[in-house]
Amino acid sequence: MTVWLALIRGINVVGKNTVPMKALAAACEAAGLRSVRTYIQSGNVVFESAGRDARALEGTIARLIARDFGCAPAVMVIGKAGLAAAIRNNPFPQAARNHKALHVHFLAERPKSPDLDWLSRLDAGSEEFALVGRVFYLWTPDGFPASVIRARIERALGVAATARNWRTVNELMKLMG
């Protein structure tokens, strides 16, 4: 069995796309996933599966959410090694002191032609960013809600993304074992 992490985008946000985590865990177990654990209400599911294809697992989870909860959020599945690499490659070590200022954006795929120059030209104050493979790091010392860059990431990269703050990323790693 392989340990996986499903990052579900856009559920339980301001009363939209409501997916109770306990019910989601039960639906995942019924679909054949094992040792299912969820973390907070924002769509983080750690599980074990004999399946070795992240894309197939994404499809399985997306279909069961559509069937059981009536919404169609994006689902991104990554393995333990992928999450460990995202933590190891963090270019903002100051996140250890201010976990809310760093958001790690997991990308659906590696961007083919990201427009990082456009992001760099934005008047973003003290914000900084880095793209490492399929992970985009956004440092927002003045707060994530006030970020100028955050709403433009997918447009600049040309791929879907889902973000988690630094503490959540590390807690998910602990859940993966």
End-to-end CA distance of the chain: 13
State how far the Cα of 86 lies from the Cα of 170, in Å rounded to an integer.
10
Predicted local confidence at residue 42, as pLDDT? 80
Question: What is the Cα Rg of the chain in Å?
Answer: 16
User: What strands, in cross-sheet order, belong to the sheet with 128-132?
Assistant: 128-132, 135-139, 102-107, 161-165
And the tokens for 48?
A: 């074990």
pTM: 0.94
Share of residues in the chain with pLDDT > 90 (%): 87
Q: What is the pLDDT of residues 93-149, one digit of tens each?
A: 999 999 999 999 999 999 999 999 999 999 999 999 999 999 999 999 999 999 999
Residue 168 has pLDDT above 90, yes or no: yes
CATH class of the domain whose range is 2-81: alpha beta
State how far the Cα of 144 lies from the Cα of 59, in Å rounded to an integer.
30
Q: 2-81 with 89-176: one CATH topology?
A: yes
Please tell me the least confidently modeled range out of 11-20, 40-49, 120-129, 149-158.
11-20
State how far the Cα of 135 lies from the Cα of 72, in Å rounded to an integer.
23
Residue 12 has pLDDT above 80, yes or no: no
State how far the Cα of 131 lies from the Cα of 158, in Å rounded to an integer.
13
Please tell me the least confidently modeled range out of 36-45, 106-115, 166-175.
36-45
Which CATH number is associated with domain 89-176?
3.30.70
Write down the domain spans for the chain. 2-81, 89-176
As beta bridge partners, residue 23 has: none
